Structures are given as C-alpha cells and as structure tokens.
Chains A and B, each alone.
Chain A
Amino acid sequence: KQEVTQIPAALSVPEGENLVLNCSFTDSAIYNLQWFRQDPGKGLTSLLLIQSSQREQTSGRLNASLDKSSGRSTLYIAASQPGDSATYLCAVKWGGGADGLTFGKGTHLIIQP
C-alpha cells in the first residue's frame, strides 16, 4: 500500500530557530512530491513542488529535499517566525495514473514569539 508518513506530528520551537520537518513514503516510484501549508480551518497553500527528477527546491526561507531511494523528503525552514505557525502537509503523486495526491497527516508547527 502506498502511504505517506510525517514526523513529528507536532512541534513547538522558539522564534528564530531553524527546523526540519520529515516526510517518508513507501514507494519510491513517485511522480512528484509537494509540500503544503494549512492554516486552521482553511484550505491548502502550495509551498514547494519537487519533480521526480529533482533533488531539491527552494523558495525564500524554505528548502525541500527529495531522496527517492530512501523514500524521504525534508522541509527545512530557516529563521522561523510566528507567522510560520501552521500545519505542514506532505503529498505524493505516484506515477502511472490519475490517482490524485496521497497526503500525510501533517506536522502541526507552533513558533513561540
């Protein structure tokens, strides 16, 4: 079964720290992997999209890496700010069909001022 797991489920850190969120997936034959942010009661905002052929993507203070062979992706957030507080979701699209995205349960992140 193709599954996505995110660790930790929740994380609370002081403002200014650099942090890493982890995502693992069971099948390395992915098409792409995407990181989303979700604020409470809201929809999802795409942060970074990594295609299967790529190793990482960067946007501002965010950097996402992809290691297909180990079935892992990490989202690195530099110099965290209280506005970064949200739930971060990892989603995988597996190649070979129109099966939509498979999401992890997310990491609930709180940045303490």
Chain B
Amino acid sequence: ETGVTQSPTHLIKTRGQQVTLRCSSQSGHNTVSWYQQALGQGPQFIFQYYREEENGRGNFPPRFSGLQFPNYSSELNVNALELDDSALYLCASSLDRPHSGNTIYFGEGSWLTVV
C-alpha cells in the first residue's frame, strides 16, 4: 500500500476525445509526477508538479496538461486523443522538495485504451 490512489482504473475513449485522470497522494507529499507506460516498455516521464506548479516536463506535447491541488490531489488531462496514447498512466508522489531524492510512491495506474 503506497497511499497513492488513481481513478479510474480502466477507461476506453475514442480518438479525438479528451480524458481526465485523477490521483490522490499521501498527505504532505508536495511533489507529484505522471508517467506513461506503453505495453512492454518502461514508464516515461510526462511532467512533475511541486506545490501546484509544473516544474519539470518530459518529451510530451502540450495536449498533455496537468493540475495539482492543495489537498494533494492532481489531474492529468489529455486532449485530442490519439491511438498511441493507449497506455497505463501512473501517478507518483514523494515527500518534500523535488530534488531531495526521497523515495517515490506510485499508484496502481489508470489503463487508457483509445479506439
């Protein structure tokens, strides 16, 4: 039990639609990051938020956006869905500052299928 919960666990969307994935972190975890994991691949870093501001981003287009809220919850929004967006989306949180090197705790993920 990592204390990080994600919803929904599975969803199916049509190409071109928009999706919002949600994550609830442990209390006090100021840093949240999102990862995309395609089948058979390692997770890829999408972006990171620290105290409600994005402070790091991987190689993903602007149609991937996020929000972090004061209650340690966060969202990943993906617009104009493409077939290649089908993947497991993982939320991860950690305590303290982004560069502190603390252990990162992952949620169980949200499986997104785009048809």
Taking Cβ atoms with an 8 Å cutoff, the residues of A that contact B are: 4, 31-32, 34, 36, 41-46, 49, 51, 89, 91, 93, 97-106
Contact = CB atoms under 8 A, between A and B. Distances in A.
Identify the 10 closest CB pairs spanning chains A and B, nearest first.
A100-B45, A103-B42, A98-B56, A44-B106, A43-B108, A43-B106, A98-B98, A98-B55, A32-B101, A105-B42
Given A31-B101, A45-B2, A93-B101, A101 B106 contact: no
18 contacts: A31-B101, A36-B106, A43-B106, A46-B103, A51-B101, A89-B43, A91-B42, A98-B48, A98-B99, A99-B45, A99-B58, A100-B33, A100-B35, A100-B48, A101-B104, A103-B42, A104-B42, A105-B41
Interface of B: 2, 4, 6, 33, 35, 40-48, 50, 55-56, 58, 88, 90, 92, 98-99, 101-109, 111
Nearest to A105: B42
Contacts of A4: 42
A34 B42 contact: no
A34 B78 CA distance: 28
Contacts of A91: 42-43
B104 A43 contact: no
Contacts of B6: 43
Contacts of A104: 42
A73 to B, nearest CB: 14
A102 B104 contact: no
Contacts of A31: 99, 101
B45 A43 contact: no
Nearest to A42: B108
Nearest to B49: A98
Contacts of B56: 97-100
A71 to B, nearest CB: 17
Nearest to B55: A98
Nearest to B41: A105
Contact of B109 (A42, A49, A99): A42
